Amino acid sequence: GEDVEQSLFLSVREGDSSVINCTYTDSSSTYLYWYKQEPGAGLQLLTYIFSNMDMKQDQRLTVLLNKKDKHLSLRIADTQTGDSAIYFCAASYGSGNTGKLIFGQGTTLQVKP
Amino acid sequence: DAGVTQSPTHLIKTRGQQVTLRCSPKSGHDTVSWYQQALGQGPQFIFQYYEEEERQRGNFPDRFSGHQFPNYSSELNVNALLLGDSALYLCASSLTGGDQPQHFGDGTRLSIL
């Protein structure tokens, strides 16, 4: 079936790199996403990667995809206190970019000054 | 360029009542998806609307129904509310046939007393 798993908590020091990991079960996923959620807010799209790509870099964010192991990671360089939030990994299933999204439980990132 | 807008932001209902939530997609988008996010969980897919019809549906009972209007906006209706329906309801929009990701609104926080 379709399932996405993430570790629940990560704590880093300001200025360090953060790496958030995610695994998914169904390899038919077309797009893989990272969303950020701050307290009381909706989901902010951070970045996404198409399933035939290995890596995508966008300023401080680097996404790595290992399709063989069904493993996705998000690296945040020079982590700031404003990066403290819950990060959700999501896999898209169905018609291209509009397929239903299956989310992990979210990883809470705590950034210590 | 307006993003995805949802109304109302907060709502309090009692068990057995009915509720309607509204969503306006991002400009240029024609597909609307609805998600339920319980406290401490990742969002779960309810259903998706395209061309005024339900295109995909998640594992939610028939008490959850929806509608899409010719201007692409959408409503989510929930009948016979249960305490377990308390959650953040998120709307996402996208363009079918495009290659851009789904964008989320800030959600409607529904509390059932």
pLDDT digits (tens, 9 = 90+) for A60-102: 999 999 999 999 999 999 999 999 999 999 998 876 667 889 9
CB proximity A53 to B under 8 Å: no
Min distance A104 CA to chain B CA atoms (Å): 6
For position A52, what pLDDT does the model report?
A: 87
pLDDT digits (tens, 9 = 90+) for A29-54: 888 999 999 988 899 999 999 888 99
pLDDT of amino acid B1:
61
| Residuewise pLDDT in 10s, chain B (113 residues) | 679 999 999 999 999 999 999 999 999 999 999 999 999 999 999 999 999 999 999 999 999 999 999 999 999 999 999 999 999 999 999 988 777 788 999 999 999 99
Each residue of A13-27: pLDDT tens digit? 999 999 999 999 887
Closest Cβ opposite residue B90 in set A43, A45, A92 = A43
Residue B66: its H or E element: strand B64-68
End-to-end CA distance of chain A: 41
Instruction: Residue A98: list chain B partners with CB under 8 A.
Output: 31, 33, 48, 50, 94-96, 102
Sort out which chain A residues have CB atoms less than 8 A from B58's CB and list them.
Answer: 100
Question: Which DSSP state fits B14?
Answer: -
d(CA A96, nearest CA chain B) in Å: 7
User: Given this model, what pLDDT does residue B20 score?
Assistant: 98
- Distance from C-alpha of B6 to C-alpha of B43, rounded to nearest angstrom: 16
What is the interface size between A and B, counted as CB pairs within 8 Å? 71
Q: Is the dihedral of CA A64, A47, A92, B10 positive or negative?
A: positive
Interior CA angle at A34 toward B45 and A104, to 5°? 50
CA distance A40 to chain B (A): 9
Q: Give residue A97's region: left, alpha or beta (phi > 0; psi -120 to 50).
A: alpha
Q: Residue B6: what pLDDT?
A: 97
**pLDDT value at position A98?**
73
Q: Which residue has the tokens 């997609």?
A: B25
Task: With beta carbons under 8 A apart, name residues in chain B contacting A101.
Answer: 33, 35, 43, 45, 92, 102
Across B28-62, b (16+ Cβ under 10 Å) vs e yields ebbbbbbbbbeeeebbbbbbbbbeeeebbebeeee
